[in-house]
Amino acid sequence: MRPQPPPPAALSKHHLLRIRHCLPPVWLNAAPAQDPSPPPTSFFFPASLSSLLFSCTAERARFPGEQVHARAVALSLGAHPSVLPRLASFYIALGDLPAARAAVEHAAGKARAFPWNLLIWGYADRGLWGDVVLAYARMLALGVAADRFTYPSVLRACGELRDATVGRGIEQLIQRWGYGLDMYVWNALVGMYAKCGQLEDARRVFDGMPARDVVSWNAMVSGYASTGMWGEAFGLLQRVPGANIVTWNIVAAGNLKAGNDGEVMRLVSQMRSSHGPGLDFVAVVIGLKACGRNGCLRIVRELHGVAVRLCLDRLERVECSLITMYSRCQMMRFAYRLFRTCSVRSMATWNSLLAGFAFMDQVEEAMLLFREMTGSDVFPNDVTVLTMLSLSARFGHLCHGREMHCYIIKRGLSGSNLLQNSLVDMYSKSRQMAAARRVFDQMQCQDRHAYTSLILGYGMQREGVTEAL
């Protein structure tokens, strides 16, 4: 005997009451006395309800949309193929995913794959990967057959969750139901196995693909790069037909993360050659970071020239990287000059130069820049204040540290645990234990970093036995 699917999830009592409240009197079979005639029948066609829901979705009009939903339920059209997807899209656009799921599940076996695909996409778009897999399982439990548009999102969720077991089960279903010829499904399988670290399975699927596109190659190359298999990644990169710049950037970024700065520079050099794909701002930033760690000023200047020729030097990411790398190369004069020529000084550019002064232990220059920043249209954030507090603590500049403390209180940043820890550390290193203890006692969450800073401060003043305990 074939098992019966579980009963559909009913709409919550709150949701039903809300829908009923939205119903006009005529829709509740209680026509007003002044107009006892029912509304025109043509208004209740599914196409009309679908169009109304589409308009409500575009305008994010919740109350009118719930009125249309109520009418669809009253006419038993909530599960209609042209109405249910619109209902799901409406609630997803509002961010009300529980209501979207309740509407889809309420249709039970009448629903097709399309509304479920919309629901799964809504979860995936918000990064709710566990809910993606649960919605897929519920879809199958209700007897709704998945299609080729379902699997890419579900497989991506398996990859993000690092759940290769569920992914293998989905691969078996794909092979059984004959969706293996779809390029999107193939690419999703390769990406899922690569993210899960199952590179043998990823390569098996990759080699079995009847055709490959750029996404396929990128997924396989990034899988090798993410596990440090640089030989395989570079060997596969050489085989990519017409490899684009994204593939090269993936390998270069992986080498940068692993600390292979020499390999990064070799890849950037090959990208610049006549046979390479050229450089974009991502490649320039990767190359600059590799140079900055080695303090190679010559290559930093060379990449700066490349950025100018390619009109990339005015991009925020490139400007910040150049300022940071000139600072790492102990060329603050160039970093400061570049900062002054920035067309738009964003929070990131201010913080980059401040971090450069902190790296070079130039306390007074950093303090002058901070004061200039407070008078500009960009207000310092937590990162800015943390940089200044750590610099003040390192050199015992109590006056600058107190100025930062006043700014924290003035800007209402006292709730940040990181800033509170930095204040305790700054006062402790400045031998102001009464102020450090006062900040410590006011903290909402006293973690081990705060305790460590306080104990070290008492130890510096030989008060470790009496006060630290």
Q: Is the model's pLDDT at 157 over the cut of 90?
A: yes
pLDDT of residue 225: 78
By 3-state DSSP, what share of the chain in percent is helix, strand and coil, each rounded to 5?
Answer: 70, 0, 30
Q: Give pLDDT, residue 110.
A: 67
Buried b (16+ CB within 10 A) or exposed e, 204-230: ebbeebeebeebbbbbbbbbbbbeeeb
Phi, psi (deg, nearest 5) at residue 140: -70, -35
Tokens representing residue 334 in the block: 């160039």
For the chain, the structural domain boundaries read: 1-33+42-123, 381-469
pLDDT of 299 reads 84
- pLDDT at residue 306, as a whole number: 86
pTM: 0.59
Question: How close are the terminal C-alpha atoms of the chain, in Å?
Answer: 71
Cβ pair 299, 266 in contact under 8 A: no
pLDDT band at residue 22 using 50, 70 and 90 as cut-offs: very low
Does 160 have pLDDT greater than 80?
yes
Q: How many C-beta neighbours within 10 Å does residue 62 have?
A: 16
The span from the CA of 35 to the CA of 347, in Å, is: 63
**Whether the Cβ atoms of residue 327 and residue 362 lie closer than 8 Å to each other:** no
Residue 181 is predicted with a pLDDT of 64
Higher confidence at residue 347 or residue 414?
347
C-alpha 218 chain-centroid distance: 20
Asked if residue 335 lies in contact with residue 323, where contact means CB atoms within 8 angstroms, the answer is yes
Identify the residue with better confidence: 12 or 178: 178
Ranked by mean pLDDT, which of 27-31, 126-130, 394-398 comes out on top?
126-130
221 residue type, one letter: V
Nearest Cα residue to 27 out of 78, 54, 67, 61: 67
Q: Report whether pLDDT(200) > 50.
A: yes
